[in-house]
Amino acid sequence: MCNQTVSLVAAEVERAGIPTVVQVFLREVAEKVRPPRALWVPFDHGYPLGEPNNPALQVDVLRQTFALLLDAGPRPVLKEFVADRVSSDVHAN
């Protein structure tokens, strides 16, 4: 789905009291639309979890995405995905 559409839907779902988190490929869209919680991922479109066949990286992306649900700070939250050392090491091989 479109980054803007997903962000707008997330904001509406949050207004209904259901926590959401989205992954976005286009940081500038997230900055304008301001979804409640978003993780910017620096991957090509169509690869929200990173490169195929790299389970360590993919688990890291999911872990950071879902961790945003625990963020009790003010909204909106926009964080950048940063690969952890294990994923980076696996990714480099």
Cβ neighbors of 36 (< 8 A, separation 6 or more) are 10, 11, 14, 19, 20, 21, 75, 76, 77
List pLDDT tens digits, range 27-81. Answer: 999 999 999 999 999 999 999 999 999 999 999 999 999 999 998 889 999 999 9
Q: Which pLDDT value is given to residue 93? A: 36
> What residues pair up with 77 in beta bridges, in sequence order?
37
Predicted confidence band of residue 86 (pLDDT cuts 50, 70, 90): low
CA distance linking residue 91 with residue 85, whole number of Å: 10
Taking each continuous run of H as one helix and of E as one strand, the counts in the chain are 4, 3
List pLDDT tens digits, range 13-25. Answer: 999 999 999 999 9
Whether 85 shows a pLDDT value over 90: the answer reads no
Question: What tokens appear for 63 in the block?
Answer: 């872990």
